[in-house]
Structures are given as C-alpha cells and as structure tokens.
C-alpha cells in the first residue's frame, strides 16, 4: 500500500477548508493509500510557482521523507508550472485533488459510457501537464525549430501529446455516438408517459441504498429485483454509472427513478463536462430527490455544493425534495420535534415530513412509504381523477390505464368496463371520448 503525505492551504475558507482536507484523506484511502502525514499552511493567496510558500516546500520535503511517504498529494488543482516545479523540488511523485478523483473514477467505471467519459476527462487534464508528469524526461537538447532538432525528452513529450490528442479525438467521437444512443433511450422513456425522478446529492449520501430500497419494496418485477440492484458501499464514488429503474408502488403512480453520479467539493470541471450527457438524466427529470447524509456534520456544506453543481448543469429550477437520510444515526436534538428523545424513540418516530423534505433511513427501510406519498404529492399537478367507460372492444385501453394510472374501482357493465382512475392529464385528453359522469 502506497503511503501518502497530504498538503492543504487555507485561503481563509473556514469550514470549507476543513471539509476539503477531510475529504482529501478519504479520497486517498479510496485509492488504497495510507495517509502518513499532513502539512497545512494559511496564505492570503496561493504561490504562483509552487502553490505553497517556497520555505514550506522544503519543510514538506523533509516531513514527507521522515514519514516514509511515497507520494505527496495537494488539496487543489495544480497548474502545469506548479506541478513541474514541485516535482523538481520535492523529488517525489506529486498528485493533486483532481488527479486523485480522476483515478478513483477510472477504477470504478463499469459501463462503456462511463469509461469513455472518465478517459476523456483524464486526457483533457493530462495534456497541459505532460511536462510535470514526465519529470524524469529531462530536456537533453534545446532550441527551437523542427521536432528533429529537439532533445530526446522533448521529442517524447511531443509524441505523447500527439498520441493523446488523437486518442482524445477518437474518444469524443465514440462518446458522441453513445450520447446519441442515450438520447434515443431518453426519448423512448419519455414516450412511456411515466414521470422521471432523479436521485442527486453528495457522494456517499446513500443514493444507491435508497434506489435499492425502492426496488425491494416497489420494484415493478419481483422476479429480477436482485439483478436490477446497484452496488451500495460506504465509500466515496462507489457507483458511477447512471441507472434507471421503474418503481411501481401499489395504489400509487409508477415512475422512473434514476441514480446519478455523486458530487463532491471541488469536483474537476473536466469531469463534470465529460459526464454532462449522463447528468442530463437529472436535468430532464420531473422531480429531484436530493439525498443528504444527515449524520454528517458537514451536511449543510454538502447541500450547498450539490445545489451549486445543479445550477451549473441548468437543473436548479426543477422541483426538489430534500431526503435527509441516515437520520436514525444522529442526535435527537438535530431532528425537528425530537429534542430530548431517546435514540429508539427517534427511530420509531421517523420520518418527519414537511412540504419539501423528509427525515428517514433508507438502510433500515424507515420512511419509504411516506417518501412515496411525498413524491406523488409533488407530481400530482400532472394528474386528475376521472371516470371512463371503455368498450370491451378496446381492451388495450383498460390494460394501459391499469398499468399507467391508479384505478380505485372497476365495474364490468353490459356496455363496457367502467373505471374510476387517477391518470395523467395527457392520457385523459387522449381517452376523453370514454369520459362519463361519476355516480359515486
């Protein structure tokens, strides 16, 4: 296991700085590294050449050597010049936060689309930093002129750059094709008439756990529920691939639920850009469920990061429910109306529901029915109650309404099937010719 030494700079960021440094430790562990030391410095602004002060560079070099560190990791993105200068002065491999996140994504990507997206982001980040990444390739010749006049190290860099640029062009072409396929799938799902609900939120807040809980309780096909589940694990970025599943609770409207990639403080811009087509699932949703790890002391900062990322994606205007997950793990005083209660009383009393939020535990399956009710209430604007009399010759309409609406009562009369149904407005207008007055 590699040993990592962390370096953080506090630019008067307050709580954000502490949160960021804690996350850097967790990111290193997610890369199977052992954190052996941390150096911190407070600065009014970062040093242009070294990110940290020149004196601090020597101190970090000595501390990292004493700790037996194999790699030094900085809690921010380093410019190409900073990376090159630090590699030369520290005489150890240097990584930054963005590289670490990209490495985690590369190891966790499973679908073809996710792998393509991660590789695009990595190449975009690597290209301007080739000199720093190839610190061992010293320039043996200098000057200007043609490639043939350059030293071996410079030739190597130029060739690497050309290879990476060709690969990047090829990847973008493949990613465009995959994106078009995803758009076709999205249009097909839109044509199904079911509303789309997207899970968003900070990494490791419990989105995958919530999706699996929904499948357990309300999966549309019990025979393959286990196959449709996603991996859930207590780690940063456990899942990257966007998953869409049909949720069909009894006596409630069915909807499509999508699980998207988690967000994090200082998420690399290249990564957001590369995953843009995947994150379109959130942008085109009818409703967002922002899953929040309520047991995390920094949950408010995590909400702020998620909301900022949604703004950047253009998804901030979509109706949202705040799902305060892991509420069974927190102090009773933190949950509205539960101050002074015993932990078991809090668990028994979950969930606390407001107009736009709910406190629950997806892992313990507490509050799921209440969440379904809140989702339905938020989506209710697109539905109406009606009574239809469908001739027996139009049996497909009866089947459609049973599958896509909520039928509260059915009567089989001589002239056809009379149905009391709560359905989408679009469906009502389409089948309006079957409308009859309700007799109670």
- Can you tell me the distance from the alpha carbon of 328 to that of 94, in angstroms, rounded to the nearest whole number? 41
- Can you tell me the distance from the alpha carbon of 253 to that of 109, in angstroms, rounded to the nearest whole number? 33
Instruction: Indicate whether 375 pLDDT > 50.
Output: yes
Instruction: Indicate whether 151 pLDDT > 70.
Output: no
| Cα-Cα end-to-end distance for the chain | 71
pLDDT of residue 139: 28
In the structure encoding, which two tokens stand for residue 357, read together?
């939020």
Given phi > 0 = left and psi -120 to 50 = alpha, else beta, which region is 206?
Answer: left
Q: What is the mean predicted confidence (pLDDT) over 96-107?
A: 84
- Can you tell me the distance from the alpha carbon of 333 to that of 204, in angstroms, rounded to the nearest whole number? 23
> What residues contact 162, with CB distance under 8 A and at least 6 apart?
none
- Can you tell me the distance from the alpha carbon of 28 to that of 130, in angstroms, rounded to the nearest whole number? 22
Of residues 185 and 435, the one with the higher pLDDT is 435
E strands in 230-313: 243-247, 255-259, 287-293
| Residue owning tokens 């690597």 | 126
Query: Which range among 196-205, 340-349, 415-424 shows the weakest confidence by mean pLDDT?
Result: 340-349
DSSP-assigned beta bridge partners for residue 416: 413
Instruction: Indicate whether 70 pLDDT > 90.
Output: yes
DSSP-assigned beta bridge partners for residue 42: 10
Q: What is the pLDDT of residues 9-68, one digit of tens each?
A: 998 776 678 888 888 998 898 888 999 999 999 999 999 999 999 999 999 999 999 999
Q: Are 206 and 325 in contact (CB under 8 A)?
A: yes
Instruction: Indicate whether 376 pLDDT > 90.
Output: no
The enclosing H or E element of 421 equals strand 416-424
Q: What is the mean predicted confidence (pLDDT) over 411-431?
A: 87
pLDDT of residue 189: 57
Report the sign of the C-alpha dihedral through residues 264, 268, 269, 270, in that order: negative
DSSP state of 170: H
Give 275's pLDDT tier (boundaries 50, 70, 90). Answer: low
- Report the side by side order of strands in the sheet with 287-293: 243-247, 255-259, 196-201, 287-293, 320-325, 357-359
In the structure encoding, which two tokens stand for residue 398, read together?
């009866």
Q: Is the peptide bond before 351 cis (omega within 30 degrees of 0)?
A: yes
Q: Are 425 and 383 in contact (CB under 8 A)?
A: yes
Q: What is the pLDDT of residues 181-239, one digit of tens each?
A: 766 766 665 555 678 899 999 988 999 899 999 999 988 655 577 777 776 776 677 66
Query: Reduced to 3 states, what is the DSSP secondary structure of residue 198?
Result: strand
pLDDT of residue 238: 66
pLDDT of residue 49: 94
pLDDT of residue 15: 67
pLDDT of residue 58: 95
The enclosing H or E element of 305 equals helix 299-313
Report the sign of the C-alpha dihedral through residues 106, 111, 112, 117, in that order: negative
Beta-strand pair 94-96/71-74: parallel
Query: Reduced to 3 states, what is the DSSP secondary structure of residue 328?
Result: helix
């Amino acid at each position: 296991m590699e040993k990592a030494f962390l370096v953080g700079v506090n630019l008067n960021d307050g709580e954000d700085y502490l949160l960021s440094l804690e996350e850097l430790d967790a990111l290193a562990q997610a890369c199977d590294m052992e954190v052996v030391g941390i150096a911190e410095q407070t600065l009014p602004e970062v040093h242009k050449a070294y990110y940290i002060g020149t004196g601090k560079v020597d101190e970090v070099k000595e501390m990292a050597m004493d700790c037996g560190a194999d790699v030094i990791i900085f809690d921010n993105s380093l410019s190409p010049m900073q990376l090159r200068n630090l590699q030369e002065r520290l005489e150890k491999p240097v990584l930054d936060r963005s590289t670490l996140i990209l490495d985690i994504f590369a190891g966790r990507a499973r679908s073809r689309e996710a792998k393509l997206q991660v590789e695009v982001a990595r190449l975009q980040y690597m290209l301007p930093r080739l000199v720093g990444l190839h610190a061992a390739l010293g320039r043996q010749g200098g000057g200007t002129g043609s490639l043939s006049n350059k030293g071996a190290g410079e030739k190597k860099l130029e060739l690497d750059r050309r290879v990476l640029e060709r690969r990047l062009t090829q990847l973008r072409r493949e990613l465009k094709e995959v994106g078009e396929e995803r758009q076709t799938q999205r249009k097909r799902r839109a044509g199904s008439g079911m509303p789309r609900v997207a899970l968003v939120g900070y990494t490791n807040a419990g989105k995958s756990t919530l999706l699996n809980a929904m499948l357990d309780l309300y999966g549309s096909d019990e025979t393959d529920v286990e196959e449709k589940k996603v991996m859930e694990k207590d780690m940063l970025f456990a899942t990257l691939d966007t998953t869409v599943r049909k949720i069909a609770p009894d006596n409630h409207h069915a909807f499509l639920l999508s699980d998207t990639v988690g967000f994090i403080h200082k998420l690399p811009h290249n990564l957001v850009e590369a995953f843009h087509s995947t994150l379109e699932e959130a942008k085109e949703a009818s409703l967002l469920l922002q899953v929040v790890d309520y047991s995390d002391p920094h949950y408010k900062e995590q909400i702020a990061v998620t909301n900022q990322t949604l703004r950047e994606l253009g998804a901030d205007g979509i109706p949202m429910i705040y799902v305060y997950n892991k509420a069974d793990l927190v102090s009773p005083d933190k949950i509205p109306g539960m101050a002074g209660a015993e932990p078991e009383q809090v668990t028994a009393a979950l969930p606390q529901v407001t107009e736009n939020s709910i406190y629950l535990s997806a892992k313990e399956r507490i509050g799921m029915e209440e969440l379904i009710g809140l989702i339905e209430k938020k989506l209710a604007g697109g539905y109406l109650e009606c009574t239809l009399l469908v001739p027996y010759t139009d049996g497909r309409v009866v089947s459609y309404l049973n599958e896509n609406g909520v039928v509260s009562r059915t009567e089989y009369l001589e002239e056809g099937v009379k149905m009391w149904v709560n359905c989408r407005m679009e469906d009502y207008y389409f089948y309006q010719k079957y409308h009859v007055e309700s007799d109670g």
